[in-house]
Amino acid sequence: MTSPISSRSLATLGAAALILCTLTPAQATANPPIQMAPQGVEYMCGGQRGAEELAFMEKVSPRWGATLEFAVNGAPRGKFAAPVQISMRNKYNGEHVLQAKADGPLMVARLAPGTYEVQATLGTLTLTQEVVVRLGQPGRTLFLWPSNFDIASATMPRQTLAQGR
pLDDT tens, position by position, 61-99: 999 999 999 998 888 887 776 799 999 999 999 999 999
Residue pair 78/138 in contact (Cβ under 8 Å)? The answer is no
Return mean pLDDT, the chain.
81
pLDDT at 164: 47
Of 101, 121, 118, 127, nearest to 45 by C-alpha is 101
